[in-house]
Amino acid sequence: MDQPIPICLRVTQPDIELWERLQWFRQQPGCSWVDQQNNLRSLPELKISRRGAELILGKSRLAFHPNMALIRAINILRGGSDRFLDATQLKAGDSFLDATLGLASDALIGALVVGESGHVLGLEKSPILAAVIQDGLKHLSETSFQARTEHKKKAWTSLVHAASRIDVRWTDHKEFLSRCPSKSIDVIYFDPMFRRTFRESDGIQPLHQWSEHSPLDRQTVKDACRVARKRVVLKERKDSGEFNRLGFKLMSGGRYSSVDYGLIII
């Protein structure tokens, strides 16, 4: 792993619960923490408030919130389709590995579908992202949310339960997969798109500078195929050459989407 990233920790109020949350962050591996008064402008700051934890560097801000996952959950619970689920074919009781966790939107949908009898593991190479997302998932039930419809209320409650079932780990997926037993996980998923910032997405831009930018390599895909019982799925930008380079078969559909999914069926 790389050298720990120095982060300035700050709580906004003298609140016992916030201080306990701060101490939890101090115990997370991979980051080194500095006092607020010693912070340099070049260092990222983690602000902890009653609204949650927010990572700040200059004008970039990053906080966990299941915005897109909520919209998708409403559609799924209404019986609508979801291209991620079409690609992964997840079922209740499945084990699912999100090898590039990011903001955990897909992991949340995966946890929603596999249910209590399934298992979802999310890997994130960036230590600060892993900590922020793990904290956000853990405290999702405390997030203020007013559902105006029964559909939204049901979807939010389902996501809160799903969030509690996601196991987040700070690790390199290459190392993790190389050590995994063969045929031990049903579905393995890669979404390495954050190595290429989408200019039109304000939500992705701050994530880009704290995320892993390296493309997938063939050995990692080979290990994933050894570990997976059912399939390996790759999400990439539309018309990406990565599908062909890494041996994925393009899934049909999504004509007007900016992304595509590639499959390797085991």
- Every domain of the chain and the residues it spans: 5-63, 67-265
What DSSP state is assigned to residue 214? P
Greatest Cα pair distance in the chain: 54
The CATH code for residues 67-265 is 3.40.50.150
- CB 158, CB 77: distance < 8 Å: yes
What DSSP state is assigned to residue 140? G
Q: What is the pTM of this model?
A: 0.90
Dist. CA 73–CA 55, nearest whole Å: 26
Please give the backbone phi and psi of residue 167, each rounded to the nearest 5 degrees, phi first. Answer: -95, 110
From first to last of its 266 residues, the chain has per-residue pLDDT tens of: 456 668 888 898 888 999 999 999 999 988 888 876 555 567 788 999 988 899 888 778 888 988 899 999 999 999 999 999 999 999 999 999 999 998 999 999 999 999 999 999 999 998 889 999 999 999 998 876 777 889 899 999 999 999 999 999 999 999 999 999 999 999 999 998 755 544 444 544 555 555 666 789 999 999 999 999 999 999 999 889 999 999 999 998 877 888 999 999 99
